[in-house]
Amino acid sequence: MADIAIFSVGTDNQAMKRTSSQSGFCAFLMGAVAFCVVISLTQSVAAQDDSEAAASSDSATFSSAGPVVEPSAEQQALIRDLLAQLGSKSFESRADASKNLKALPIDQFQYVCQLAGKQASAEVIIRIMAELDNRYSVGQDKDLLAVSESLEQLATAERLLVADSAEASLLEHSQKRLSVVQQQLRDFGALVGETPGVSNMFLGVAPRTLMSAQVFFTDDWKGGEQGLRVFARLASLMKASNGVLTVYLVDGNSLSAADVEQIAEFVGHARIAERSPVALGIVNDGRMNFGGVLISQVTPGGTAEKGGLHADDLLLAMEPAPARPPKQVPAKQDGDSGQDEEVEPQEQPVIIPWGTAPLDTYLEDDPRRLLDFDDLVERLKKYKIGDEVLLHVVRRSGRLGFRAPRGNEVELTRIKLMGWKDMSHLRHSEP
pLDDT of 121 strictly over 50: yes
- From residue 28, alpha-carbon distances to 18, 31, 38, 112 in Å are 15, 5, 15, 46
**CB of 281 closer than 8 Å to CB of 297:** no
Better pLDDT: 426 or 202: 426
Better pLDDT: 355 or 51: 355
The per-residue pLDDT for range 222-247, each reduced to its tens digit, is 999 999 999 998 998 888 778 889 99
Per-residue pLDDT, 231: 94
- Amino acid identity, residue 184? Q
pLDDT of 271 strictly over 90: yes
Better pLDDT: 403 or 116: 116
Query: Which of 201, 186, 181 has the alpha carbon at shortest distance from 241?
Result: 181
Instruction: Give the CA radius of gyration of the chain.
Output: 33
Give the three-class secondary structure for 363: coil
Better pLDDT: 115 or 63: 115
| CB proximity list for 36: less than 8 A, separation 6 or greater | none
Is residue 242 classed exposed, middle or buried when 0-12, 13-18 and 19+ CB atoms within 10 A define those classes?
exposed
Per-residue pLDDT, 232: 92
- 407 pLDDT band, cuts 50/70/90, is very low
Q: Which helix H or strand E contains 60, and what residues bound it?
A: strand 60-63
For the chain, what is the mean pLDDT? 74
**CB of 418 closer than 8 Å to CB of 304:** no
The per-residue pLDDT for range 315-329, each reduced to its tens digit, is 888 999 888 766 655
Which whole number is the average pLDDT over 370-377?
90
The per-residue pLDDT for range 14-37, each reduced to its tens digit, is 333 333 444 454 444 445 444 444
Which whole number is the average pLDDT over 39-58?
39
State residue 368 phi and psi, 5-degree precision.
-80, -15
Per-residue pLDDT, 223: 92
pLDDT of 358 strictly over 70: no
Q: What is the rounded distance in angstroms from the CA atom of residue 399 to the CA atom of residue 408?
A: 13
**CB of 423 closer than 8 Å to CB of 281:** yes
pTM, entire model? 0.63
Q: What is the rounded distance in angstroms from the CA atom of residue 80 to the CA atom of residue 86?
A: 10
**CB of 189 closer than 8 Å to CB of 149:** no
Per-residue pLDDT, 135: 84
Q: What is the rounded distance in angstroms from the CA atom of residue 425 to the CA atom of residue 12?
A: 71
| CB proximity list for 111: less than 8 A, separation 6 or greater | 70, 71, 75, 76, 79
Least confident of 48-52, 181-185, 320-324: 48-52
Q: What is the rounded distance in angstroms from the CA atom of residue 195 to the CA atom of residue 182?
A: 13
State residue 392 phi and psi, 5-degree precision.
-90, 110
Least confident of 19-28, 174-183, 202-211: 19-28
Per-residue pLDDT, 355: 45
Give the three-class secondary structure for 65: coil
Q: What is the rounded distance in angstroms from the CA atom of residue 65 to the CA atom of residue 147?
A: 9
State residue 272 phi and psi, 5-degree precision.
-115, 125
**CB of 210 closer than 8 Å to CB of 380:** no
Neighbours of 308 (CB within 10 A): 16
Q: Which helix H or strand E contains 378, and what residues bound it?
A: helix 373-380
Least confident of 13-27, 71-85, 104-118: 13-27
Per-residue pLDDT, 283: 86
Neighbours of 157 (CB within 10 A): 18
State residue 213 phi and psi, 5-degree precision.
-130, 150
Q: What is the rounded distance in angstroms from the CA atom of residue 232 to the CA atom of residue 64?
A: 9
- Amino acid identity, residue 244? V
Per-residue pLDDT, 60: 36
The per-residue pLDDT for range 249-264, each reduced to its tens digit, is 999 999 999 999 999 9
**CB of 245 closer than 8 Å to CB of 238:** yes
- Amino acid identity, residue 130? A
**CB of 227 closer than 8 Å to CB of 254:** no
The per-residue pLDDT for range 291-314, each reduced to its tens digit, is 788 898 888 888 899 989 999 888
Per-residue pLDDT, 28: 44
Per-residue pLDDT, 5: 33
- 248 pLDDT band, cuts 50/70/90, is very high
Per-residue pLDDT, 380: 93
